[in-house]
């Protein structure tokens, strides 16, 4: 069934280096591989998905502001911004639709400074540690949330 649901997938700093950056932690899949997996899951759920990556918090904030009138949901892998980017947290809090935080690795099993997320309190949930599947699960979480809303 076709739905008029548009999802914005946001990717934070250094995620453009996926595939070559610390493959023992993040795997060998590129950012485009992750976007493709999320897009396939979105199409299967009857959604459309647009993806943006930026190493700049201000650019991500601008995209979140634009999303308020263009998108029904946001999936975000904030990367290192997870732990301190209050501007992103505030922007997401002003977004009316569901937000799902995703991570390729599991921040809770890594360095202690990665254990705090300023995004989690404004998200409906966090999916972490499942590699590329985290993105697919993020789309499925949005579908489940909207179907049960």
35-44 pLDDT per residue, tens: 999 999 999 9
pLDDT band at residue 119 using 50, 70 and 90 as cut-offs: very high
> Which residue in the list 34, 71, 103, 135 is annotated as catalytic?
103
Q: Which domains does the chain have, with CATH numbers?
A: 5-147 (3.40.50.9100)
pLDDT band at residue 28 using 50, 70 and 90 as cut-offs: confident
How far apart are the C-alpha atoms of 117 and 83, rounded to whole Å?
Answer: 5
- Indicate if 71 belongs to the active site: no
The pair of three-digit structure tokens given for residue 82, joined into one six-digit string = 């997870």
pLDDT band at residue 1 using 50, 70 and 90 as cut-offs: very low
pLDDT in tens, 62-103: 999 999 999 999 999 998 888 878 999 999 999 999 999 999
The percent helix, strand, coil of the chain (3-state, each to 5) is 50, 20, 35
- Indicate if 103 belongs to the active site: yes
The pair of three-digit structure tokens given for residue 138, joined into one six-digit string = 């993020």
């Amino acid at each position: 069934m076709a739905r008029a649901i548009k999802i914005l997938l946001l990717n934070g700093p250094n995620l453009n280096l996926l595939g070559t950056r610390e493959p023992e932690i993040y795997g060998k899949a590129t950012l485009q591989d992750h976007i493709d997996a999320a897009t396939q899951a979105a199409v299967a759920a009857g959604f459309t998905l647009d993806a943006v990556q930026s190493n700049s918090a201000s650019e991500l904030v601008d995209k979140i502001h634009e999303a308020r009138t263009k998108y029904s949901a946001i999936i975000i892998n904030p990367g290192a911004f997870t732990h301190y980017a209050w501007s992103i947290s505030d922007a997401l809090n002003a977004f009316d639709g569901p937000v799902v935080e995703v991570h390729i690795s599991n921040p809770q099993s890594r360095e202690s400074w990665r254990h705090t997320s300023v995004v989690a309190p404004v998200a409906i949930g966090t999916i972490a540690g499942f590699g590329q599947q985290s993105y697919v699960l993020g789309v499925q979480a949005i579908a489940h949330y909207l179907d049960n809303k």
